[in-house]
Amino acid sequence: MNERPSSAMFSHKYFGKELGHLIGGKSVPPHSDQMMPSFNPATGEVLAYIPEGTAEDVNLAVAAARKAFEGPWSEWLPWERHRLFMRIYEVIEQNFDELAYLTTLDIGTPITKTLGMKQYALKAITYFATQTTNIGGQTLPNNIGTGVMTMTVKAPVGVIGGILPWNVPLVGLWWLLGGTLATGCTIVLKPAEYATMTILRLVELLYEAGLPEGVVNVVAGRGGVVGQALAEHNDVDRVVFTGSVQAGRKVIMASASNVKRVQVELGGKSPDIVFADAPMELAVPGAAMAVYNNCGQVCTAGTRLFVERKAHNEFVDKLVKFSRQMRIGPGIAHDTDMGPLISQGQLDRVMSYVDGAAPEGATLVTGGKRLGGDLSQGYFVEPTIFCDVRPEMTIAREEIFGPVISVIPFDTEEEALRLANETEYGLGGAVWTQDLSKAMRMINRVKAGTFWVNCYDWMDAGVGMNGYKLSGYGGKGGPTHMDNFLYQKSVYINHTYSGDVPPVGAGLRA
């Protein structure tokens, strides 16, 4: 039998070290000497030690970001920003394998998947490079007089606080970096406790590409300390949070300190609707991987799987077959389809949902167990499917963030729609059908910010993603993405130099 690859077979300059924050372009030791271990979730081994940042560290990073913002950076011309993006493209392209291996070891995502994210990252960099020349206001008509020209101009918002989740560091960061660098904002990033190394290394690479000092800063640490300090900081102009609803609520409240702009991208419990006329060769692996991707730790995971009753049994049989042939193992092995969960805490959480499903009346049709043997040191669970799930059951309502599918049958299109919308979330959703009219009705009536037809989890920076209800507000990507990083000023110009236009406007003279 082949030896399973372990992190001991790979080396990285971070491994075995106590890491610092990255402030003003340099590694900076933390204010306190408290460190937290970063584990390889496939083996339970400690990879490195991450600083437990403090409010003092946040102050230092925000000051560096402010200084950079008030310097020449925010007035760079579009071509200068574009040129920086081109250098970043090259550095990221050259070093992507290192980033992919580091991410796989740190969070468990299969290496084939992290290596595959290279194309996504490079396309996102290219897209945001094009946005540098796409930032402008409008000339607007007015009812004041012909001697008055009116227009809007845009200006960068300032210092951004970016609070990140751990599940997709290689991809998620570009939503923030793209807008920050294209507009002339600066940023302080707070990586998730479990995925700090990828963010630190990626930002180091930005500096290797020529990023001016202090434009991007990283403060590692706990959410309740570093995240909270960033969200309430009076010199942060906008906070962007991606994570759970519980923490998102705290960020919204903390942001009230200086009424900073706030964007929250939160959880989901997305409906995936399979009609009997679906292209089954797509729908079976599509519905399975809509949940098993990243071991179910994807915010848009299609965990509520609605299957038209006349196709239900055949579909479930095929889904079970697909699930049982999945290869579970350390992400570092090239033949792994699904890696571990991120942590012992996440494993316990997923298992508590699995163990609680049968007593509520759901039927376990495959999976449901933690993996033992030579995987027993890691946080591995089997791909799991429950049938006979009713919408009111806990597994059908709450975000599990694990490889657990709840199959719910339906008879009519109206019923599918009602069930799909019976959730407090509204992040993603999909329909599988060959009937375009039916698909259009679902697109229009499912209350979700991102929707797929005969595919799942495709994402493009130019198209973006959005949320309804508890899934948050402020969307990422797409044509309005840059506006999130910009103030809009309304400008009135009297170009008559005469009394034809009253010097003071509305309300003061009849």
* Contact footprint for ligand NAD (CB under 6 A): 163-167, 190, 192-193, 223-224, 227-228, 231, 242-244, 247, 250-251, 265-268, 299, 399, 401, 427, 472
Of 363, 348, 427, 428, the C-alpha closest to 395 is: 363
Beta strands in 271-373 (DSSP E): 271-274, 304-308, 363-366
Six token digits for residue 268: 């989901």
With a CB cutoff of 8 Å and minimum separation 6, the contacts of 337 are 110, 292, 326, 327, 328
H or E, element range at 124: helix 111-131
Q: How many CB atoms lie within 10 A of CB 389?
A: 22
Residues 386-393: contacts with CB within 8 Å, 24+ apart? 386/357, 386/362, 387/316, 387/362, 387/363, 388/361, 388/362, 388/363, 389/357, 389/362, 390/361, 391/304, 391/419, 391/422, 393/357, 393/360, 393/361, 393/362
CB of 346 to ligand NAD, least distance (A): 8
Instruction: Report the residue number, 28 or 192, with the smaller CB distance to ligand NAD.
Output: 192
Q: Is the dihedral of CA 387, 389, 395, 396 positive or negative?
A: positive
List 185, 295, 299, 387, catalytic entry:
299
Q: Among 52, 193, 204, 265, which one carries the catalytic annotation? A: 265
Task: For residue 137, give the 3-state DSSP assignment.
Answer: coil
HEC string of 166-197 equals: CCCHHHHHHHHHHHHHHHCCEEEEECCCCCHH
80 is catalytic: no
Q: Would you say 382 or 399 has its CB closer to ligand NAD?
A: 399
Give the phi and the psi of residue 102 in degrees, each rounded to 5.
-60, -45
| Min CB(370)–ligand NAD separation in Å | 20
Nearer to ligand NAD, 236 or 307 (CB): 236
Token pair in block for residue 455: 């595919």
Which SS3 state, helix, strand or coil, does residue 149 take?
Answer: strand
Query: What distances in angstroms separate CA 273 from CA 286, 380, 390, 440, one per listed residue?
Result: 11, 28, 15, 13
455 is catalytic: no
* CB of residue 293 to ligand NAD, shortest distance in Å: 12
Min CB(281)–ligand NAD separation in Å: 29
User: How big is the chain by its Cα radius of gyration, in Å?
Assistant: 25
**Per-residue CA distances from 141 to 149, 492, 504 (Å):** 8, 11, 19
- For the CB of residue 471, give the shortest distance to ligand NAD in the complex, in Å: 6
Residue type present at position 481: H
CB environment 440-471: b (16+ within 10 A), e (fewer): eebeeebbbbbbbeeebbebebeebbbbbbbb
Give how far Cα 352 sits from Cα of 384, 395, 400, Å: 13, 10, 10
C-alpha dihedral (236, 242, 243, 245), degrees to nearest 10? 80
Cα 80–Cα 85–Cα 90 angle in degrees, nearest 5: 130
User: Quick one: 16 or 224, whose CB is closer to ligand NAD?
Assistant: 224
Choose between 295 and 387: whose C-beta lies nearer to ligand NAD: 295
Q: Which residues are part of the catalytic machinery?
A: 265, 299
